[in-house]
Amino acid sequence: MAAALPGALGFIPGPVTALDFMAELTKIDAARRQTNAAIRMFFEGEDPIAVHTVAAAGHRIVRDLARQNGSEILSSFEQTLLPGVKGKFWAAFNGSTNFLKHADLDAGAQQDNVVYEASNPILILVTICFFGELGLTHSTEMAALSVWCRLHYSQFFGPDLDQEKISEALTPMRGLSRKESKIFFRDLVRQQARVEW
Over residues 74-94, the pLDDT tens digits come to: 777 777 677 787 887 777 777
37 in any annotated domain:
yes
107 in any annotated domain:
no
Read off the pLDDT of residues 32-76 as tens digits, 9 standing for 90 and up.
Answer: 999 999 999 999 999 999 999 999 999 999 999 998 988 888 777
156 in any annotated domain:
yes
Report the number of distinct structural domains present in the chain. 1
31 in any annotated domain:
yes
* DSSP string of 139-194, one letter each residue: PHHHHHHHHHHHHH-GGG----TTHHHHHHHHGGGTTS-HHHHHHHHHHHHHHH--
78 in any annotated domain:
yes
148 in any annotated domain:
yes
Domain of residue 165: give its range: 26-100+114-192
pTM here is: 0.72
Contact 34, 55 (CB under 8 A): yes
105 in any annotated domain:
no
